[in-house]
Amino acid sequence: MPQAAKVLIDGPSELVFDYAIPEGMAVLPGCRVRIPLQRRNATGTVLAVAEAEVASFKLKPIEALIDPEPLVTKNLIKLAAWMSDYYGTPLEQIMRSLVPGAVRQETHSAKTKLVVHLKRMPEGEDLDKLTKRAPRQHTILALLSVKGALSLTDLGGGSVRASIKALEEAGYVEVKSEAVRRDPEGGEEFLESKPFPLNPGQQAAFEAICKAVDAYADTDPDATLPKPILLHGVTGSGKTEVYLQAAQYALDRNRSVLILVPEIALTPQTVQHFKSRFAGLQDQVAVLHSHLSQGERFDEWHRIRSGQARIVVGARSAIFAPLPDLGLLVVDEEHENTYKQENPPRYHGRDLAVVRASIERCPIVLGSATPSLESFHNARTGKYDLIRINERADGASLPLIRIIDMRLEAKKQKSKFAILSDKLRNGIESRITDGEQVILFLNRRGFARSLQCPDCGHVCECQHCALPLTYHRSEERLVCHLCGYQAIVPRRCPKCNEPGINLQGYGTEKVEEVLRAVFPKARLARLDADTARKKGAVRETLRAFKARKIDILLGTQMIAKGLDFPNVTLAGILNADLSLHIPDFRAGERTFQLLTQVAGRAGRGEMEGEVFIQTFTPHSPSIQFARHHDYDGFADQEFEFRTQFGYPPFGHAALLLSKSTHERLAEFTLQNLHKRLEADLPKNISLGVPNPCPTSKSHGQFRFQLLLRSSSPRTLSRHVQKILAQTTLPEEVTVVFDMDAYDFG
């Protein structure tokens, strides 16, 4: 019986049509095809292949296979279907994430170069003739006799083409077109590292992971499989070494490995760990993240798909890496909110990793020193297996944490915006004198938070967002950190024309200026989104810091986790309150995690570490539990609060967001949707009321949001999607549904 393919058409229309498969054409799910659509040609992805149903009309045939091999595996198609149902996202949008644009579009291809290979050397009289009559040909042959093969460029490019052609016609050389890998780590040298001996905690974690790898490889399809593993190890406990040895165990059993990291800034050092450990297999380590060029992404993706690369390290989008025979999936720093995609499709990388591991039938390890409360709750209720590593790998003790009340410090220094307390300044000075290193953390870039007129109170705000503009002294510009809008710094108040406009607050630029004035002899480096714009800047700065060419490293969140520098004995958190007082039920959790992670950068070597936390709210539970390294105590009190309001992990929270350049229209649209949702509301869904977002205007659009909570995420998602499908929305309004929302701003 003839077969038909269900094809998802490329484009925003979300069309799925059946097409007949011509005889002799091998079409599989995941293949890219060219098909007729009305009076034009289109491209699409095959979702399924089945016997053609008897119909009163004739199916149009597929015109051609763009790629004979499936670009999307069957398991990834299953993952896409799960995402579409759970997150309420069109399948076409998800397929665009599964196959990168560099691969999906036909404008990119493998890079090639011409290579000249030596076939044979002339002898006797022929050699003498070449030496006298064609010295250039003789030189080329002499070089090839040593090297065997050289690229046309290395031999001189276009200037030697005629000579090479003559040698080719004589049968002395052969010219071949060979693929050239565009390596993201090209030029980097990785020295081989050997496995370190594991302490008892690491050994127990390693054995548990190996047992899970074997169980997934050996069990029959109907057997009960091991649960996901939550690896809760204190900062510096050597979780990375456990990952490396577990990866080797999986590779030895001919399985592939996927390692997810939350930040692009962490990717280089994770890549370094894996390429150094697998130095003999460096070509088998691939990298995926958004900072790759289109050519690099094209090459890395095809190396993964072909099975040439068996280890993939990447940020959240690497969860879609088309790895065959996946044998181990690791999510490092699983608590990080950067795993949440804030643009459609709004998936969570950690949650997708758990689902993909289930589909692929492979073990998954979620690692963190401060696990998300969702994962920790899953471990407490038996959904995950919990493994703890309670001591540091080198036997060092956790750093001593000191809380500094900046209310008292402000009175002492007679300054509302005191930056360095006396205790922190003295601590830095003594560490530098002893040849030790310091990390200082402030999660706000720029020089000053805002410009404000002391007479009329006017604050310079972004024209497109309801946010103050941040002053950047290096560029002499006011910058919006939300949309990127820039403005010239006014010399007078734009509202009342008074000349005394003042800088309010401080950022990393201001702190850098203060540090250079207070410690003029110290070698200082700043690492934030401004200094990291240049490609390779993060890697170079961290390399210099590791080589002890930098005494003080000042930075934002990109230095808060994952860094391992044994000579760092002091970590300073300049303003612990920045993430605490925001309208988000996760604010306390994020603050606790951030403080613990930054504190963990100190004392990772033989010398004891010390941490100073500067805060205006020293009695906050997040700060006090972080001070005592008490994760369980923090989790207990936070669970008590979450239970009362049905917040995650005791339910699922979603946001319905409406935005438009017309404020009243955006508000009215959400109010209308609220009434429709309420009219047919399932019993297990709690519906809030429409409110302006905390950031009421962004990128020129007014924003309103509606919070929904439920114990059943699919019931919630399907109810919202049903109402949205039944509602005709104004063209000027965009409505976004965000399941398991993380951004409430």
Domain ranges of the chain: 3-104, 111-180, 200-389, 400-445+507-641, 448-505, 652-739
* Bridge partner residues of 735 (DSSP): 658
Measure the CA–CA gap between 144 and 204, rounded to whole angstroms.
54
Q: Count Cα neighbours of 158 within 13 Å in the Cβ-side half-sphere.
A: 0
Q: State the pLDDT at residue 296.
A: 80
281 vs 585: which has the higher pLDDT: 585
Q: In 24-83, which ranges are E strands?
A: 32-37, 40-51, 64-67
Instruction: Tell me the pLDDT band of 66, cut-offs 50, 70 and 90.
Output: confident
443 vs 147: which has the higher pLDDT: 443
Measure the CA–CA gap between 674 and 687, rounded to whole angstroms.
8
Q: ∠285-288-290 over CA atoms, to 5°?
A: 155
Measure the CA–CA gap between 626 and 597, rounded to whole angstroms.
9
User: Tokens for 382?
Assistant: 């038996």
User: How distant, in Å, are the alpha carbons of 205, 288, 394 from that of 248?
Assistant: 15, 20, 22
Q: Is residue 471 within 8 Å of residue 591, measured between CB atoms? A: no
CATH architecture of the domain with residue range 111-180: Orthogonal Bundle (1.10)
Instruction: Tell me the pLDDT band of 107, cut-offs 50, 70 and 90.
Output: low
Measure the CA–CA gap between 2 and 51, rounded to whole angstroms.
6
Measure the CA–CA gap between 354 and 334, rounded to whole angstroms.
11
Nearest to 260 by CA among 192, 182, 334, 160: 334
Q: Is residue 629 within 8 Å of residue 602, measured between CB atoms? A: no
Percent of the chain with pLDDT over 90: 53
Identical fold for domains 200-389 and 400-445+507-641, yes or no, is yes
Query: Superfamily for 200-389?
Result: P-loop containing nucleotide triphosphate hydrolases (3.40.50.300)
pLDDT above 80 for 541: yes
**Helix ranges (DSSP H) in 610-651:** 621-627, 631-645
User: Tokens for 111?
Assistant: 């890079």
**Helix ranges (DSSP H) in 361-468:** 373-380, 406-413, 422-433
Measure the CA–CA gap between 47 and 586, rounded to whole angstroms.
38
User: Tokens for 20?
Assistant: 């007949």
1.10.940.10, 3.30.413.10, 3.40.1440.60, 3.40.50.2300: which CATH number matches 3-104? Answer: 3.40.1440.60
Q: State the pLDDT at residue 55.
A: 65
Percent of the chain with pLDDT over 70: 94
Nearest to 538 by CA among 528, 548, 547: 528
Q: Of 99-113, 340-354, 568-582, 715-729, which range is least confident?
A: 99-113
Nearest to 100 by CA among 340, 357, 293: 293
Element (H, E) at 738: strand 733-739
Element (H, E) at 302: helix 294-306
User: Which SS3 state, helix, strand or coil, does residue 319 take?
Assistant: helix
Residues 6+ apart with CB under 8 A from 437: 431, 545, 548, 550, 551, 552, 553, 565, 567, 568, 569, 570
What class has domain 400-445+507-641?
alpha beta
Measure the CA–CA gap between 288 and 311, rounded to whole angstroms.
11
Q: Is residue 610 within 8 Å of residue 427, measured between CB atoms? A: yes
Task: Say if pTM beats, i.e. exceeds, 0.95.
Answer: no
Nearest to 341 by CA among 705, 710, 655, 742: 742
Measure the CA–CA gap between 99 and 305, rounded to whole angstroms.
11
DSSP state of 720: H
Instruction: Tell me the pLDDT band of 281, cut-offs 50, 70 and 90.
Output: low
Measure the CA–CA gap between 503 and 396, rounded to whole angstroms.
43
Predicted confidence (pLDDT) per residue in 14-60, tens digit:
688 889 999 888 888 888 899 998 888 888 888 888 887 766 678 89
Predicted confidence (pLDDT) per residue in 388-400, tens digit:
999 988 777 889 9
> 410-424 in b/e burial notation, b at 16+ Cβ within 10 A?
eeeeeeeebbbbeeb
Predicted confidence (pLDDT) per residue in 464-483, tens digit:
999 999 999 988 999 999 99
Nearest to 171 by CA among 103, 235, 122: 122
pLDDT above 70 for 187: no
pLDDT above 80 for 503: yes
Q: Is residue 659 within 8 Å of residue 736, measured between CB atoms? A: yes
User: Tokens for 264?
Assistant: 């692009």
Nearest to 528 by CA among 494, 568, 570, 556: 556
Q: State the pLDDT at residue 120.
A: 83
Q: State the pLDDT at residue 656.
A: 96
Mean pLDDT of 183-192: 68
pLDDT, the chain, mean: 88
pLDDT above 90 for 9: no
266 vs 638: which has the higher pLDDT: 638
Measure the CA–CA gap between 499 and 455, rounded to whole angstroms.
10
Residues 6+ apart with CB under 8 A from 287: 184, 185, 267, 271, 300, 312, 313, 314
User: Which SS3 state, helix, strand or coil, does residue 555 take?
Assistant: strand
CATH code linked to domain 652-739: 3.30.70.600
